[in-house]
Amino acid sequence: MTRGVGIVLVALAVTAAVAAPLIAPHAADARFPGLLNAPPTVPHVVDDGGLWHAPFIYRWRLVSQLEQRYEEDRSQRVPLAWFSGGHLVAAPDAAAPLLVAGADSFGRDVFSRLMFGARTSLSLAAAAALGATLIGGIVGGLAGYAGGAADDVLMRGTDFVMVLPAMYVALALRAVLPLVLSAQQVFWLLAAIFAVLGAPFIARGVRSIVRTERRLEYAIAAEALGAPAMRLLLRHLLPATRGFVAVQITLLVPAFIVAEATLSYVGLGFPDTVASWGTMLHEASSNIRVFADFPWLLSPAAAMFLVVLGLNLVLQSDRSPERHALQRPPA
């Protein structure tokens, strides 16, 4: 049961990322200058007269420019347009946009940015996890296959990286590179840093599995039949680590999502123009009133929680989920 919930949560997040341009009512950088920090527009089906309509919203009327307070203008309904203009749902009137999760301090639609932000945050985490698997697989595979001095050196290296507080290493590595980079450069740079920091968690387990499998009869048989080392490793030994690697990736992805958010939060991640969950939180945190008056700006935190929870729930049905807590990379 819990696993099903987890799969649904993860699937939702992936759908949001993949289909962002379709689901999001607006572009990530579309601004509504009259609606700075406007609250969410709630879809209604019943108007004040008690009559039923297709889902509609009311437009926001600015009550106080200074305090950025808004009030629903109930005199006129704004019907929602479905499947028009390449969007799932939107309000056709540009002056009364559909703001499912409110607007940020630039008047941008938070919900749309959340969808496009899922793209950035999730694809970065996925790319980093892939990189960590590659590096960890190579290092762990070689160490486990070769044994001896090479094994010793490689494993000391991974131990050393694992002892360090990952967040600080990521911070230091990012900070010593040029502070201003394009979004593309930041993406690959962070993916590389995260991959290197995540790799030891994969390498350790891969190494011990490869070591054990190597001594099993099927591996000895393959070797006796003249399979070259490369073939033995790629075709026979590494596939045995599949299950372990899958679990590790499920643990690394949440850590990477949070690491991106933390770095962007302190201004060392993506530039502010890019929509990512981290830059959105960074933007929100610059406003002192966010906690009291504009809580919808914190929705990226909620999104992050749901994705991490989803991934954790997927792991739950394994025989002993507690075991993973031990191997959990520090987020």
Partner 1 sequence: MTRYLARRLAFAIVLVVAVSSGSFILARLAPGDFVTLTTRGQVSPETMQRERARFGLNKSVAAHYRDWFAAAVRLDFGDSMLYDRPVRGMIVERAANTAILAVAALVLATAVGLPLGIVAGSRRGGVIPAAIRSASLLLLSMPPLLTSLLLVFIAARTGWFPIAGMRSATTPGGGATLDLLHHLVVPSLAIALPLAAMLERLQAQAMSEVIAEPFVLATLARGVPRSRVVWRDALKAALRPVAGVYGLIVGTVLSGSFAVEVITAWPGLGSLMLTALRARDVYLVAGCAAAGAVFLAFGTLVADLALAFVDPRTAASASPDEAAA
Q: How far is the CB of 240 from partner 1 (least distance, A)?
A: 22
Cβ closest to partner 1, residue 59 vs residue 174 = 174
Q: How far is the CB of 157 from partner 1 (least distance, A)?
A: 10
Quote the DSSP letter at residue 298.
G
Cβ closest to partner 1, residue 98 vs residue 101 = 101
Q: Is the dihedral of CA 168, 169, 171, 177 positive or negative?
A: positive
Q: How far is the CB of 164 from partner 1 (least distance, A)?
A: 7
Cβ closest to partner 1, residue 56 vs residue 256 = 256
Cβ closest to partner 1, residue 123 vs residue 285 = 285
Helix (H) or strand (E) holding 300: helix 299-316
Cβ closest to partner 1, residue 78 vs residue 253 = 253
Residue ranges in 215-298 assigned as alpha helix (H): 217-224, 229-231, 242-265, 277-285
Helix (H) or strand (E) holding 176: none
State how far the alpha carbon of 294 is from the alpha carbons of 110, 241, 291, in Å. Answer: 11, 47, 6
Cβ closest to partner 1, residue 3 vs residue 61 = 3
Strand partners, 58: 77
Strand partners, 87: 84
Q: How far is the CB of 163 from partner 1 (least distance, A)?
A: 5
State how far the alpha carbon of 98 is from the alpha carbons of 35, 42, 86, 89, 117, in Å. Answer: 11, 9, 15, 9, 18
Binding footprint of partner 1 on the chain (CB under 8 A): 155-156, 159-160, 162-168, 171-173, 175-179, 204, 254-255, 258, 261-262, 265-268, 281, 285, 291-292, 295, 298, 301, 304-305, 308-309, 312-313, 316, 320-323, 325-326, 328, 330-331
String of b and e for 4-30 (b: at least 16 CB within 10 Å)? eebeebbeebeebbeebeebbbbebeb
Q: How far is the CB of 104 from partner 1 (least distance, A)?
A: 16
Q: How far is the CB of 273 from partner 1 (least distance, A)?
A: 19
- The SS3 assignment for 208 reads helix
Cβ closest to partner 1, residue 23 vs residue 311 = 311
Cβ closest to partner 1, residue 32 vs residue 277 = 277
Q: How far is the CB of 44 from partner 1 (least distance, A)?
A: 27
Quote the DSSP letter at residue 84.
E
Which residues, at least 6 apart from 238, have a Cβ–Cβ distance to it below 8 Å?
Answer: 137, 141, 206, 210
How far is Cα 138 from Cα 195, in angstroms, rounded to an integer? 13
For the beta carbon of residue 308, count every other beta carbon within 10 angstroms. Answer: 19
Looking up tokens 């289909």, which residue turns up? 19
Q: How far is the CB of 174 from partner 1 (least distance, A)?
A: 9
